[in-house]
A = this chain, B = another copy of it.
Amino acid sequence: MTRTSVGDLGALVDRARDGDPRAVARLITLVESDHEQLPELAAALAPATGTGQVIGLTGSPGVGKSTVTTELVRALRATGRRVGVLAVDPSSPFTGGAILGDRIRMQDHTTDPGVYIRSMSSRGRLGGLAAATPQAVRVLEGAGCEVILVETVGVGQAEVEIASLADTTLVLLAPGLGDAIQAAKAGILEVADIFVVNKADRAGADATYHDIQGMIGLADRAPGQWRPPVLRVVATTGSGIDELVAAIGKHRDWLGSHDQLRARHRQRAASEIEAIVLARLQRRIESVTGLPARAAAVAAGQQDPYAAADAILAELGLDP
């Protein structure tokens, strides 16, 4: 836990609300950290909760997430909306932080005061991005962002969960790379509200399109449930981006008219609370004095891990 004081949090939140990009950056750095003032910050940010539209964007490496994000930002800015982007990168042990290589293209937008772009890493944060991302969204909401894009790199379960915290989740596919079967394997089909076949001008794009339509057709859906559309996009030329913005709007309208938006916001809050509780409990488990001895006994085959878990629960003061 970081113990250095960050000074007057209220003043920092006020400056972020006025759109000061340095204050926003400082607050996001705080929510990424394990700072002891996090609860105080969370209390100051709470009133901003739910004021922005959150769009998740996920897909395998190489499908073109950053390019699609950049084009979405351009299209959303054209409608005058303030936009925030959180690019969620697992941290690299080699650089000590997120790798920003493919963020460079986004620098198109860095001189636009109506756009706030930030990469987030999970380095050193207990509970990881599942706990930090909703707070970072709240910082951007507090700073007046009307739309917040959360782009997750990777196809793992944790990233999928982060994407599913959005109001609308886009799953990106591309011909060959990160195809429909790979997406199914990674469990990312489940979270999709809208499918985007990027690089739709390349060979194999039709096959990817039809594969994903086939998988959607196979899924069980109750009557009245949202059926994810599949859109073809060539992000490098901007082709299909306006249609994507329209589809996001249509999904948002559907959420509102089916009372789904409030349900998603509550689900998101429940996940956030759970992540914080689990992070605190994980810290306690790791500090249980009996853990090293239990681990040695399990490693030696002298105790089974369930019996060891019971003992740890008892040390935590809980019934096994």
Contacts and interface: CB of A to CB of B under 8 A. Distances in A.
A277 interface: yes
Contact of A304 (B45, B268, B277, B286): B45
A300 B153 contact: no
A277 B46 contact: no
- Counting chain A residues whose Cβ lies within 8 A of the other chain, the interface size class is 35 or more
Given A60-B61, A280-B313, A306-B43, A92 B185 contact: yes
A194 to B, nearest CB: 16
A154 B185 contact: yes
B46 A273 contact: no
Interface string A250-280: 0000000000001001111110111011101
Given A156-B155, A269-B305, A312 B277 contact: yes
A156 B157 CA distance: 6
Given A95-B184, A154-B186, A269 B295 contact: yes
A175 interface: no
A299 interface: yes
Contacts of A92: 184-185, 187, 189-190
Interface string A169-188: 00000000110011011110
A91 B187 contact: yes
- Among all A-B residue pairs, the 5 with the closest Cβ atoms: A156-B156, A39-B306, A42-B304, A269-B298, A270-B295
Interface of A: 38-39, 42-43, 45-50, 60-62, 89-95, 98-99, 101-102, 122, 128, 134-135, 153-160, 177-178, 181-182, 184-187, 189-190, 215, 218-219, 262, 265-270, 272-274, 276-278, 280-282, 285-286, 291-292, 294-296, 298-309, 312-313, 316-318
